[in-house]
Amino acid sequence: MSLVHYEIRDGIGVIRLNNPPVNALSTALRRDIQEAFAAAREDASEALLLICDGRTFVAGADISEFDKPPQPPSLPEVIEQIEQSHKPVIASLHGTALGGGLELALACHYRCGLASARVGLPEVKLGLLPGAGGTQRLPRLVGVEKALKIISGGKPIPAVEAEKMGLLDRVFDTGAADLLPRALEYAREIIDRRAGPRRVGELPAPSAGAETFSQFRQQLDKRSRGQLAPQLIVDAVQAATEQPLQRGLETERQLFVQCRESDQSHALRHVFFAEREAARVDGLEGVEPRPVHSVGIIGAGTMGGGIAMCFASAGIPVTLLEMNGEALERGRAAIERNYATAVRRGKLDEVQKERCLAAIRGTTDYGDLAQVDLVIEAVFEDLNVKREVFARLDRTCRPGAILASNTSYQDLDAIAAATARPYDVVGLHFFSPANIMKLLEVVRGKRTADDVLATAMKLAKRIGKMPVLSGVCYGFIGNRMLRRYGSQAQLCLIEGASPEQVDGAMESWGMAMGPIAVGDLAGLDIGYRARQSLDDEQKGDPRSYCIADALVEQGRLGQKSGAGFYRYDAETRSRKPDPLVASLIEEKATEFDVVRRTFTDAEIRERLLLALVNEGAKILEEGIAQRPGDIDVVYIYGYGFPAHRGGPMFYADSRGLRGVYAAICDLQAQYGGDCWEPAPLLRELAESEMTFAGWAEGNRQF
Ligand code: 3H9
């Protein structure tokens, strides 16, 4: 059956695309579009209208086809055919016209659409550049500077803004049902005006001085350090100013293929699909989630306040509970400050801010939680305190309410056991600052009910989070791996590297922030306090925390106290190495009989990254994570792992598990310890020349 329906309405040939879910330009769709335009060429229609069924206009090329051999017709061929049509062609947009979808619209002679539509060229987020004329046509239409911004930023823009810059010709402020009649009227107007085809490709080449490009490249160097696509985007747009259309299109094609074949694009495409997959819990298909109309949050500290903001911003009323009025007031003031910052940064307007604040009601009375649909506990990280809270919730909340804990380390099953309804208990591990960070670990206890889990996954999306399922273990997926990573960073220090070398080695590789600086940012007292509740075995190798403990005992808690591993400038918060810390590290090395040596950056990276991979393999094998891609999503969204490297498990797969396993065995021989005990799954996959991804796929089929 054809994916394109064609009919003539009042002299206008209506070409309707229907390729759910997002009308991606698969081979079959490209072929059917080509056939429809060929059929329309000689018929009685006076103009052609390109429109889509379903929730959106075309969302781009079909990303899943990029790893397969290309099949004709190519998108540039289809686009050329449309642009050359001798009848005027009008694109009619709704939803999102993205990537190849916007390029298709740019091949049309006129563009109209709903005011609610958004348009963009997000290829850069996949490590690509627009490969079907976007880098050549967009600057001809909107100028070089705007085009550079749109293409290298990848962020879709609203239709109204697009109209202002001449990217859209007509915007309709109506609902989706009226799009077709309004677009037909617009097409009729074009016929009556005898406006004829207006080809973007025939507009004069855009102009810009060499300086525009060099300045933009410099900005990109800072913003997207180490990434290929943004730089090649500038090359492609520059070609539009220097070459005639056909040559420019060839240049764009070459650069597109270079990007498509790059490791970075493979990694980013993996992340695209992993993000979507992570939101699915195997075995929960068809389970009906519980309705959630109201939420209670216990604890108005940094975490509780941030969580309250997530729900309030999504329009879900929140009851925020604290022990006393003073704590509640402090929490409320912090929330107000955060919303005020969002307004200052243009993310919210005053009306939205007031609406959000009005959605949060403070209380000190547990009774006010009796009727809410979901309660999230965000109190002090102590098992007994949390169990008391849950016992109380059990007595207070209505039957069927979901009881969630935001714990980052405690045993969720032990918390659930404090209630008579462990099946209603789930972990919702938000990351700090909770109103900003996208990651949400949804923790499934031994007895969590399926519909509770389904509710948590769905709700996460509603509040704009990226949910990933985790089983119960110390630290769940992210913090369990972080512990290994952080320990290795500390061991590198005591063995001879400086804090700035460790951070520099990871940041130059692409991590958003090095591990030592992250510790200072989070506050060294947090780990210190957490260690107080552990026995020596749980604490691990004392060499991996003795320096941090000593710093805390000197009152150096990190950024918040002006000093931790680094010294911080009070105003700019920029970090500076501190000779006192260098001496402290040496002292500790002497105390623990460690002979210090020099490190290369590569050695530091090897230890830190392989520590993540080995622990990740254990997590996978134990079934704590559903899939390797889930672990990648956790690390990218929660811990600043560079998306263009695909996450730790993708990194290991791309490097080859045989080599990874051999390197971990070498580290084990050199350093010993639990961290380097190779994960049995890793050994098995290395020996059978497999990848984590291949193993996960096989498991699923099995
Ligand atoms: C490109 O166009 C290159 C050209 O310049 C040159 C070519 C020569 N392909 O996100 P959702 C699937 S590069 C294949 O959950 P939403 C997605 O995997 C492309 N599949 O929905 C999911 O499948 P499943 C440039 C795609 O409503 C389902 O659709 N375009 C594609 O939250 C629903 O997706 C982009 O980068 C695709 N292009 O958001 C746009 N897009 O249900 C990428 C989606 O099995 N897409 N799927 O998991 C998006 O940003 C969002 O999907 C969109 C809808 C905003 C459209």
Of the candidates 7, 42, 83, 103, the residue annotated as catalytic is: 103
Work out which ligand 1 atom sits closest to the CA atom of 60: 2
* Nearest CA, atom 16, ligand 1: 22
Gap between the Cα atoms of 381 and 359, Å rounded: 27
Task: Give Cβ neighbours of residue 199 (< 8 Å, ≥ 6 apart).
Answer: 83, 84, 109
Say if residue 308 is in the same domain as residue 425.
yes
Q: Which amino acid is at 430?
A: F
The secondary structure of 578-598 as a DSSP string is -HHHHHHHHHHHHHTTPPP--
The closest alpha carbon to 586, from 576, 594, 598, belongs to 594
> Which tokens go with 267?
């990694």
Say if residue 498 is in the same domain as residue 432.
no
CB of 233 within 6 A of ligand 1: the answer is: no
* Nearest CA, atom 51, ligand 1: 59
Say if residue 238 is in the same domain as residue 315.
no
Active site residue 285: no
Residue 122: its H or E element: none
CB of 24 within 6 A of ligand 1: the answer is: yes
Residue 375, strand partner residues: 296, 403
- Among the three residues 260, 286, 309, which one is the final residue of a domain in this structure? 260
pLDDT at 701: 52
Say if residue 519 is in the same domain as residue 548.
yes
Q: Are 378 and 322 contacting, i.e. CB atoms less than 8 angstroms apart?
A: no
Say if residue 33 is in the same domain as residue 104.
yes
Segment 54-58 mean pLDDT: 97
Going from the Cα of 22 to the center of ligand 1, the distance in angstroms, rounded, reads 7
> Which tokens go with 635?
């690390």
Task: Give Cβ neighbours of residue 6 (< 8 Å, ≥ 6 apart).
Answer: 13, 14, 15, 16, 36, 39, 40
Going from the Cα of 58 to the center of ligand 1, the distance in angstroms, rounded, reads 9
Gap between the Cα atoms of 589 and 593, Å rounded: 6
Say if residue 87 is in the same domain as residue 229.
yes
CB of 130 within 6 A of ligand 1: the answer is: yes
Residue with tokens 């495409």: 269
pLDDT at 700: 65
Q: Are 422 and 413 contacting, i.e. CB atoms less than 8 angstroms apart?
A: yes
CATH of the domain at 614: 1.10.1040.50
- Among the three residues 470, 504, 536, which one is the final residue of a domain in this structure? 470
**Out of 18-22, 259-263, 546-550, 571-575, least confident range:** 571-575
CB of 265 within 6 A of ligand 1: the answer is: no
Of the candidates 7, 42, 46, 123, the residue annotated as catalytic is: 123
> Which tokens go with 356?
């959000």
Going from the Cα of 183 to the center of ligand 1, the distance in angstroms, rounded, reads 25
- Among the three residues 599, 620, 646, which one is the final residue of a domain in this structure? 599
CB of 119 within 6 A of ligand 1: the answer is: no
pLDDT at 154: 96
Segment 611-616 mean pLDDT: 98
Helices 27-41 + 75-83 axis angle, to 10: 20
CB of 132 within 6 A of ligand 1: the answer is: yes
Q: Are 429 and 407 contacting, i.e. CB atoms less than 8 angstroms apart?
A: yes
Active site residue 103: yes
* Nearest CA, atom 40, ligand 1: 59
Whether residue 522 is contained in a domain is answered as: yes
Q: What angle do CA 328, 332, 336 make, to 5 degrees?
A: 175
Residue 467, strand partner residues: 440
Number of structural domains the chain divides into: 4
Say if residue 526 is in the same domain as residue 657.
no
Q: Are 230 and 220 contacting, i.e. CB atoms less than 8 angstroms apart?
A: yes
Indicate if the pLDDT at residue 702 is higher than 80.
no
The closest alpha carbon to 519, from 583, 555, 581, 566, belongs to 566
Segment 513-522 mean pLDDT: 94
**pTM listed for this prediction:** 0.95
Say if residue 555 is in the same domain as residue 618.
no
Q: In which band, very low, low, confident or very high, does the pLDDT at 1 lie, cut at 50, 70 and 90? A: confident
CB of 126 within 6 A of ligand 1: the answer is: yes
Averaged pLDDT score across all residues of the chain: 96
CB of 100 within 6 A of ligand 1: the answer is: yes
Q: In which band, very low, low, confident or very high, does the pLDDT at 571 lie, cut at 50, 70 and 90? A: confident
Say if residue 541 is in the same domain as residue 618.
no
Going from the Cα of 95 to the center of ligand 1, the distance in angstroms, rounded, reads 12
Whether residue 37 is contained in a domain is answered as: yes
Whether residue 275 is contained in a domain is answered as: no
Say if residue 461 is in the same domain as residue 505.
no
Indicate if the pLDDT at residue 507 is higher than 60.
yes
- Note the pLDDT tens digit of each residue in 678-697: 999 999 999 999 999 999 98
Whether residue 276 is contained in a domain is answered as: no
Going from the Cα of 83 to the center of ligand 1, the distance in angstroms, rounded, reads 24
Say if residue 308 is in the same domain as residue 255.
no
Going from the Cα of 92 to the center of ligand 1, the distance in angstroms, rounded, reads 19
Quick one: 177 exposed, middle or buried, by C-beta within 10 A (0-12, 13-18, 19+)? Answer: exposed
The closest alpha carbon to 309, from 375, 359, 377, belongs to 359
Going from the Cα of 120 to the center of ligand 1, the distance in angstroms, rounded, reads 12
Say if residue 106 is in the same domain as residue 72.
yes
Domain of 617, in residue numbers: 601-702
Q: Which amino acid is at 89?
A: V
CB of 138 within 6 A of ligand 1: the answer is: no
Whether residue 278 is contained in a domain is answered as: no
CB of 90 within 6 A of ligand 1: the answer is: no
* Nearest CA, atom 24, ligand 1: 276
pLDDT at 698: 83
pLDDT at 128: 98
Helix (H, G, I), strand (E, B) or coil at 677: coil
| Interface predicted TM-score of the whole assembly (ipTM), two decimals | 0.99
The secondary structure of 544-563 as a DSSP string is GTHHHHHHHHTT--BGGGTB
Mutate to test the pocket of ligand 1, among 22, 125, 257 (most ligand atoms within 8 A of CB): 22
CB of 123 within 6 A of ligand 1: the answer is: yes
